[in-house]
Each structure stands twice: as structure tokens, then as C-alpha cells.
């Protein structure tokens, strides 16, 4: 993932991150469904979406740990 895209994700607040995570999970579900019925155009998109989900979850967890340390 490009550094600029990663920085944009890091600048998001908690609600925006949760919304992005929800959207990515929906996209992954749709891609898996397309894959199951053999209509998936770009199978590498599955891997990319999984990686984005992992990045968003990692940033959410980092934010939780930062806010926990401040409290």
C-alpha cells in the first residue's frame, strides 16, 4: 500500500475507520460471492481487500491502545 494512502487512513477518526471497515467487509463478501459463482473479474482484488481490512483493524487497535494509555 502506498504511504500516502496509509497516511489518509491514519488521519481518519474512529467512526470513519469503523465505516471503512464495514464497507471493506461488504466488498469482501461480494467478491467471495462472485468468486463462488465464477463471475469474479479480478481475483487479486480478494487479497487486496483482505490486506486493507487488516491495515484498518491494526490502526483501530493502535488508536485504542493510545487512548488507553492516556486515560
pLDDT at position 71, please? 58
What sign for the dihedral angle of Cα 34, 35, 39, 41?
A: positive
What is the per-residue pLDDT across 9-62, written as a single tens digit (0 to 9) for each? Answer: 999 999 999 999 999 999 999 999 999 999 999 999 999 999 999 999 999 999
Residue pair 56/7 in contact by the 8 Å Cβ criterion: no
Q: What is the dihedral of CA 5, 18, 12, 57, to 10 degrees?
A: -50
Please give the Cα distance from 28 to 26 (Å, whole number). 5
DSSP 8-state assignment for residue 2: -
Domains of the chain (ranges; CATH) run: 3-70 (1.10.287.310)
Amino acid at each position: 500500500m502506498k504511504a500516502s494512502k496509509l497516511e489518509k487512513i491514519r488521519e481518519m477518526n474512529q467512526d470513519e475507520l469503523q465505516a471503512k471497515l464495514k464497507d471493506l467487509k461488504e466488498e469482501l463478501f461480494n467478491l467471495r460471492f462472485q468468486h463462488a459463482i465464477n463471475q469474479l473479474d479480478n481475483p487479486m482484488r480478494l487479497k487486496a481487500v483482505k490486506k486493507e481490512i487488516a491495515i484498518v483493524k491494526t490502526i483501530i487497535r493502535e488508536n485504542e491502545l493510545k487512548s488507553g494509555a492516556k486515560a
